[in-house]
Structure 1
Amino acid sequence: MHRFARNGLAVGSLALALPLLAACADKPAPTVSVPVAPPALAASDATFVQTAAQGSMTEIQAGQLAQTKAKSPKVKAFATQMVTDHTANFDQLKQVVANKGVTLPTDVSDQQKTALTQLQGETGRAFDKDYVADMVAGHEAMLEAFQSEAQTGADADLKKYASDTIPAIQQHLAEAKKLQGPPMGTHYGHHHHAK
């Protein structure tokens, strides 16, 4: 009997507890502030973010290849600068878009991937020539995108980021062109004139 009485007490206690839980459930839930979702970026700004991110990723990956495969010490030094500068630039872009509801691309474009694959298969002077040519073309494209964003972008933070980055892109482009040397036509013209 004593055992049943203990079970009965337990059931009775549970029965008393249920109305208390129900009473608690009737109370209004505490107000929780839900963060407001960030406004979506304009299509042009979102495209710029993708272009800037993939551009930096390409420069980093190509630079890492050149650090080991380039024949010229000057090209290797330039490649090291590209890896350092574009890693910092990519990190800065991450911070700028952190609260803007945009997802950064995780890989380069198909066209950039093709160029990187070609570089992987090259060595010596051929590698140096094509790497530098890629750096000139890549920085020219990035400069155009950054100038466009700085002038016509809708997002103030991205416009400032683009404007602040333009001088570094211009410097990289100038250095790449210096490594590339004068165009063949210009070189030929000077040579012909010397005759």
Structure 2
Amino acid sequence: MAKSDKEFLSDAMKGDNSEITLGELATQKGGSEDVRSLGRALVDDHRKAKDEATALASDLEVKITTTITVEAQSAVEKLQRKSGPEFDQAFVDYMISNLEKDIAEFKEKAGEGGRPVPEFAKKMLPVLQKHLQLAQSLSRH
């Protein structure tokens, strides 16, 4: 079932917080420059996205959240115990799986069209797709 605009926006902010947290972790612990670079892109792009989501949230009376998703918290805990190539592989695997799920949700919301939240989702899709392509290019599978 499709999420309401308010639910979607709340989840999008948690997603932005999650990507910022994971991106910062990757810039600190990434074993390769490519993984650190992906981390920086996540931080920069999701800070911009969160600014936009926050502006929309106040218009729709959605509570601004600073929390991250349960999945991201679990990933952070696992990643903090890894380093070097092991960190990089686990980070990239998580990001690919997470981004594929996010893109599906954003496509569904964007398809509703015409309202500010679906328009926001539509605007963010190319950014998420760019992150997925970057992560896939780093995967060793």
- Alignment map for 1:101-140 (pairs within 5 Å): 101-140=61-100
Identity %: 28
Contact 1:55 1:138 in 2 (8 A): no
Q: Which residue does the alignment assign to 2:120?
A: 161
Q: Distance in 2 between matches of 1:142 and 1:75?
A: 20
Distance in 2 (alpha carbons) for counterparts of 1:140 and 1:51: 15
Aligned equivalent of 1:53: 13
Q: Where does structure 1 differ by over 6 angstroms across 4 or more consecutive aligned residues?
A: none
Unaligned segments of structure 2, at least 5 residues? none
Q: Distance in 1 between matches of 2:3 and 2:106?
A: 15
TM-score (norm 2): 0.91
1:94 aligns with 2:54: yes
> What CA RMSD, in Å, does the superposition of the two structures yield over aligned residues?
1.7
1:20 corresponds in structure 2 to: none
Shift of 1:159: 0.9
Give 1:106 deviation, angstroms.
Answer: 2.6
Partners of 2:112 and 2:120 lie apart in 1 by 13
TM-score (norm 1): 0.67
**Aligned partner letter, 1:61:** T
Q: Does 1:85 align with 2:57?
A: no
Greater relative contact order structure (CA < 8 Å, 6+ sep): 2
CA deviation profile, 1:154-189 (whole Å, cap 9, x unmatched): x700011111111111111111101114x3xxxxxx
User: How far apart are residue 121 of structure 1 and its match?
Assistant: 1.4
- Local SS of the residue matching 1:102: coil
Q: C-alpha distance in 1, partners of 2:46/2:8?
A: 16
1:177 aligns with 2:133: no
- Mapped contact 2:26–2:35 kept (Cα < 8 A): yes
Unpaired segments of 5 or more residues in structure 1? 1-41, 184-195
- Specify the SS of the correspondent of 1:122: coil
Aligned residues: 140
